[in-house]
Structure 1
């Protein structure tokens, strides 16, 4: 696909693309303390570890956990989405809109399934029921989520952006301003507890070249 974009042979159409906050997993994300975080940095980046740690510094176990989660996301799904946006902007004319979904599902107390609900976060595809208004499907056979008015309202806003995008090629609505991603304004829209535009950290993302991108641990299907 990169060669297609480089040659300007892609379908030059408006694009909405994004990721969920917690869908990437590797040794950085699963590091439970500072020692494990430092070891993971050395394992994943080798002679680039010092450079990585300058971009994702941590001095405590808490900071290590936060930086590990951030680095895992930025190094894989966010870097990949950004690479797509850059490729489109270099040879295409159509707009590119980026998002991140960060809302954690309101899991029912005591619910159990493969991934620990207390640690799963905003997992891969957790945005889908909000985009399509299918939240109740999770409770068809047993109650796994306790959806709130906030979740319903967030879903309504997200569905409205999809409808606007389908109609006009621009996902912005009166309720949700959504500027396009550009080389000069590398921003994405976060859908979550606090919805709004966020600026990408160019220095960190520039570090995640194809040669340095962090590998992701394979995940399994979820309830």
Structure 2
């Protein structure tokens, strides 16, 4: 088992009073070859769940295990190291640093913990894989929305993660680019990286293997065949 979420809850409180519960007792497993879509309306808790798994938002209660190790155990530095070495994260919206070229944005995770070498060959190979060979020296302002998303995908893969987390990876891009990105995700999964993707675009589900639905903070597993037929 790659990932286990056990009764994970996130509440927002003020002065001891619960304002809302974004995620309620979420429990599910992710296998090493899984490509899972999490669907649900905006505000249903999808992003909150991904952020807890990514080590960015601490659960109020519950346990998250990655390869048998509790993500939220230990000091912040240990959590950050686990996040950098084991997880790839593609956040919503534009996440590239505007003062860095495409290749330097991709290399960024490589430098966070003083890894050996400069990571150039790895970054070049990843940019080629996502269809951006020759774009190494371009800045985000010189890229389209779809191209920036591809750079973000390459960056998330820089440290060979065991699990790729993607939060609405095809939002605000055209249909053709969406299809090519989803095909790329399917290839990444086939090559051995598990994927957990939040999306409100039902057309994307067919590229995966399982589907979870979030509604009002409650997570349930749906029948995949329903979406494949659609």
Provide the TM-score with structure 1 as the length reference. Answer: 0.30
User: Normalized per residue, which structure has more helix?
Assistant: 1
- Point out the structure with max Rg over C-alpha: 1
Provide the TM-score with structure 2 as the length reference. Answer: 0.29
User: Normalized per residue, which structure has more strand?
Assistant: 2
